[in-house]
Copies of this chain bind each other. A is one copy, B any other.
Amino acid sequence: MTLSGDLLIGGANVRGSAATFAAVNPANGSPMQPSFAGATREQIDQAASLAWDAFPVYKETSLEDRARFLEAIAEGILALGDELVLRAIEETGLPRGRIEGERARTVGQLRLFAKEVRDGAFQELRFDPADADRKPVAKPDLRLRNIALGPVAVFGASNFPLAFSVAGGDTASALAAGCPVIVKAHSAHPGTSALVGKAVVGAVAISGLPRGTFALLFDVGFEVGQTLVADHRIRAVGFTGSRRGGTALMKIASERKQPIPVYAEMSSINPVILYPNALLGRGAEIGKSFAASLTLGAGQFCTNPGLIIAIEGAGLDAFIESAAATLAEAPAQNMLTGGICEAYRKGVARLLAASSVSLISSGKNGTAHQASAALFQTTAAAFLANPELQEEVFGAAGLIVRCHDDSELRRVVESLEGQLTIALHVDAEDVAAASQMIPQLELLAGRLLVNGFGTGVEVSPAMVHGGPYPATSDGRSTSVGTLAIYRFLRPVSYQDFPVGLLPTPLKDVQAAARVQK
């Protein structure tokens, strides 16, 4: 397929009329063909108008039709073959194995949501039968279902060019819920976005869906995204990115005439708490696996373990020695964009300059376009006194907080902001102490894990990839796993409807998930 650099609106290629930009190969800084053109306000309006028109039809597609549509997108992505893989590698600097793995995850995610749609439980069908004889007043016939919120604006993430981009988790769950989707592609991988966008447009066409069901817009800046979030036809937002970007969208959404929900996944340093017995028994081993997790994908995972909290002692020394040695051998890696690499270096420089922080180890040097891992340490007292040490340094930088005792460790944990994940490393003898802390940790993160690191995010029914602010804008939700569909639904109750007026799923009362006894 020849990439045109066009927007995808109403199923057609439309040349953007705003400023143009090109993808840049982050491995060498070279610009790539073609030039992509941003969307104007008129073009955004056109996409929103088509999405609004598509909405009443798309939201009432049968579960089977909607499931097949999601599967057709998955097929379309696989059919792109190596062209997609090569373009994604070139645009992101990520290795082939990672891109192929991410493609498998993206396709698997779409198929999982197809299964979730067929299952139908997300509709939350409920039926309270009428009772004409009830005193003091007759009881009405009440039926309830969840309906889709409306067109959703999805922002592609820089760090998951497939799994959290054009047909990634936000798009898959919004489409599964019955919402048309308008994607604002991330400008770091526009070619990858365009290829996947073509696959979605193809699936819309072969599924016979309204052409406004999906659109793909480009922009080199922020205007397209901000205009979309302010548009009265957009009814929810899915975003993965920085805290600054996420809170800016939250503000726009809350100041609309009709405020809308923003599901923004923003920042997390994913604290890891190392317990004394685990450290004594396996300090070196944990240190090695920590270093591997820290440097995975150049540290560019939302669940990257950026903070270690532990009590000083021989176990922690062994951990540090092992982590430092492993990290010293870690090759420098390409980062996703020059801007991200620059921000990482600034973050590392900030830690290097902090008087209360010292460098333990750093990874190997690389090219001018690559980043080296870095591991720092500080004291609990310094960490508590300097809240800025909690700021995420996106990339393979970690900070160890050395605590004198359990009470200092608890104060450090109490000072934490909301997180996506918190990991505990424990041995059997640590369980009693750790269990005291679980109630506090539950309030701080969406996922707690034991003897592991958060970097692998399972896509399944029991996953929560979310957490209290500022990890996300809405700690009541997850952006990974089947529960993500509920972000884009709201309940509606139908009272005393004649069968002819009832929406199809509610005509058959036997299908109701919950019939009042």
By a beta-carbon cutoff of 8 Å, the part of chain A in contact with chain B is 56, 59-60, 101, 126-128, 136-137, 139-140, 142-144, 147, 149-150, 250, 254, 258-259, 261, 417-418, 424, 426, 428, 431, 434-435, 438-440, 442-443, 445-452, 456, 458, 460-464, 466, 468-470, 473-476, 478, 483, 489-498, 500-501, 503, 514, 516
Considering the chains assembled together, what is the distance between the CA atoms of A475 and B235 in angstroms? 11
Considering the chains assembled together, what is the distance between the CA atoms of A501 and B147 in angstroms? 38
* Residues of the B chain whose Cβ atoms lie less than 8 Å from the Cβ of A126: 461-462
Q: How far is the CB of A355 from chain B (nearest CB, A)?
A: 26
Q: Tell me the nearest residue of chain B to A146, going by C-beta.
A: B476
Asked whether A496 and B450 contact (CB < 8 A) given A258-B468, A478-B491, the answer is: yes
Instruction: Flag if B450 contacts A495 (CB, 8 Å).
Output: yes
Instruction: Flag if A450 contacts B501 (CB, 8 Å).
Output: yes
Instruction: Flag if A56 contacts B431 (CB, 8 Å).
Output: no
Q: Can you spell out 30 A-B residue pairs with CB atoms less than 8 angstroms apart?
A: A56-B439, A56-B440, A126-B461, A126-B462, A128-B462, A128-B463, A139-B458, A142-B460, A144-B461, A144-B464, A144-B483, A147-B442, A150-B443, A250-B254, A258-B418, A258-B470, A426-B501, A435-B500, A442-B492, A446-B490, A447-B493, A448-B493, A449-B495, A449-B497, A450-B501, A452-B496, A460-B516, A462-B493, A464-B493, A478-B491
Considering the chains assembled together, what is the distance between the CA atoms of A77 and B261 in angstroms? 38
- Across the interface, A490 reaches (CB within 8 A) one of B431, B456, B476, B501, namely B476
* Residues of the B chain whose Cβ atoms lie less than 8 Å from the Cβ of A434: 501
Considering the chains assembled together, what is the distance between the CA atoms of A205 and B424 in angstroms? 36
Considering the chains assembled together, what is the distance between the CA atoms of A438 and B259 in angstroms? 23
Instruction: Flag if A447 contacts B492 (CB, 8 Å).
Output: yes
* Residues of the B chain whose Cβ atoms lie less than 8 Å from the Cβ of A447: 492-495
Asked whether A462 and B516 contact (CB < 8 A) given A449-B496, A476-B490, A490-B476, the answer is: yes
Q: How far is the CB of A196 from chain B (nearest CB, A)?
A: 22
Q: How far is the CB of A87 from chain B (nearest CB, A)?
A: 23
* Residues of the B chain whose Cβ atoms lie less than 8 Å from the Cβ of A490: 446, 475-476
Considering the chains assembled together, what is the distance between the CA atoms of A474 and B101 in angstroms? 38
Instruction: Flag if B464 contacts A492 (CB, 8 Å).
Output: yes
* Copies per complex of this chain: 2
Q: How far is the CB of A285 from chain B (nearest CB, A)?
A: 16
Which of A126, A426, A473 has the largest number of chain B CB atoms within 10 A? A126
Asked whether A496 and B456 contact (CB < 8 A) given A461-B144, A469-B258, the answer is: no
Which of A128, A442, A516 has the largest number of chain B CB atoms within 10 A? A442
- Across the interface, A458 reaches (CB within 8 A) one of B60, B128, B428, B492, namely B128
* Residues of the B chain whose Cβ atoms lie less than 8 Å from the Cβ of A492: 442, 445-448, 464
Considering the chains assembled together, what is the distance between the CA atoms of A454 and B417 in angstroms? 43
* Residues of the B chain whose Cβ atoms lie less than 8 Å from the Cβ of A60: 439
Instruction: Flag if A463 contacts B144 (CB, 8 Å).
Output: yes
Considering the chains assembled together, what is the distance between the CA atoms of A438 and B445 in angstroms? 40
* Residues of the B chain whose Cβ atoms lie less than 8 Å from the Cβ of A497: 448-450
* Residues of the B chain whose Cβ atoms lie less than 8 Å from the Cβ of A516: 460-462
Q: Tell me the nearest residue of chain B to A491, going by C-beta.
A: B464
Which of A418, A461, A496 has the largest number of chain B CB atoms within 10 A? A461
* Residues of the B chain whose Cβ atoms lie less than 8 Å from the Cβ of A475: 490
Q: How far is the CB of A185 from chain B (nearest CB, A)?
A: 28
